[in-house]
Amino acid sequence: MRTEVGIIGAGPAGLVLGQLLRRSGIDSVVLESKSRQEIETTVRAGVLEQGTVDLLNELGVGERMLREGSFHHGVEIRFDGGGRRVDFPSHTDGRRIMLYPQQEVVKDLVAGRLGAGGDIFFGVSDVEIRGADTGSPSLSFSHEGRRHDIDCAFIAGCDGFHGPSRQAIPARGRREYNRTIPIGWLGILIEAPPSSPELIYTNHRRGFSLISTRSPEVQRMYIQVSPDDDIAAWPDGRIWQELHDRTDIPGRPELIEGPIFQKGIVAMRSFVCEPMSYGRLYLAGDSAHIVPPTGAKGLNLAVTDAVVLARAIAEWRSGGGNALLDAYSEICLRRVWKAQRFSTFMTRSLHRDPDGDDYDHRIQVAELDYLTSSEAAMRSFAENYTGLPIEW
């Protein structure tokens, strides 16, 4: 087989990249290690920046998102026994966010690609990248008991942290930045109507909590725990008690409880690989960077990587040269590190430090007081939360 761009991974980065390339008349093939059912049903968060929403609509895969997703015009931040709201449109020339789960975004993108006749090989294994540092890279993989080879002009590694793409860059040619955060999130999915029309972030002496939504019938909630906690030690009653203790404030409606049908604990960490390219191999999404979920940036960074890479390849193909391809890593990393900064700020401001004391907590309260009372601080927060522009 031959294609212009071999894409490893059918997550948001790979699928958006494929749609953008198709719009420019550029062929691609997508390889995915999981089944279609698995990538379309694995529950993941989904806070979409305004730019991501606009792009999905431009690509023709946003109809269901607009019908079933929920636009939010701000967030509420609760701390020190009270709550304050940060409005997004008034501080960002009208920008908003949308809550629409990542697996639903993936489902729409898969349907859009297959409906347009694009190729996706599900359930592949043993993917090998060859000749990435040459002008003629290729991919080799197993699928349904047979070995296949694809000759490419470019390879896009959109295969997540554990995929083969990043490892194809020689260790001497990349630098990896890692930060382990001693915080875990215990997340639950419940059957209930929304407790709030918008997200609620809470800083509490007992720990952080987040009230989110997935649909009119399904809600997502989180509490801060130790990353080493055993989920068996968290029966439903204990989870609800902690959520109420941390989130409820006088004069506001209490959380609406409902049956918990999924729960688990995830650790938090940060990761960045520099550079995000090697020869004709370009990393995108979680293969190159992971941010703490507090800032809601993971999916949106993946989409940004795809936008930059698609434009760079289209420019090269039209005879515009390699300038944008050569700048791909630099362009993406500027936004990645700003997202890391914002996510780190959110994490430090809202979570109880396991080694902290009352002084540290009062500093957090002062930080959140300033954030929610200063017009300049609210503007900065809203700009970062709804999405910073790409700096070409």
Q: Which of 12, 292, 293, 328 is catalytic?
A: 293
Q: Catalytic: 385? A: yes
Q: Catalytic: 177? A: no
Q: Which of 100, 201, 222, 278 is catalytic?
A: 201
Q: What is the 3-state secondary structure (H, E, C) of the chain?
A: CECCEEEECCCHHHHHHHHHHHHCCCCEEEEECCCHHHHHHCCCCCEECHHHHHHHHHCCCCHHHHHHCEEECEEEEEECCEEEEEECHHHCCCCCEEECCHHHHHHHHHHHHHHCCCEEEECCEEEEEECCCCCCCEEEEEECCEEEEEECCEEEECCCCCCCCHHHCCHHHCEEEEEEEEEEEEEEEEECCCCCCCEEEECCCCCCEEEEECCCCEEEEEEEECCCCCHHHCCHHHHHHHHHHHHCCCCCCCCCCCCEEEEEEEEEEEEEEECCEECCEEECHHHCEECCHHHCCHHHHHHHHHHHHHHHHHHHHCCCCCHHHHHHHHHHHHHHHHHHHHHHHHHHHHCCCCCCCHHHHHHHHHHHHHHCCCHHHHHHHHHHHHCCCCCC
Q: Which of 12, 72, 91, 101 is catalytic?
A: 72
Q: Catalytic: 297? A: yes
Q: Which of 91, 204, 289, 297 is catalytic?
A: 297
Q: Catalytic: 201? A: yes
Instruction: Provide the annotated active-site residues.
Output: 72, 201, 293, 297, 385
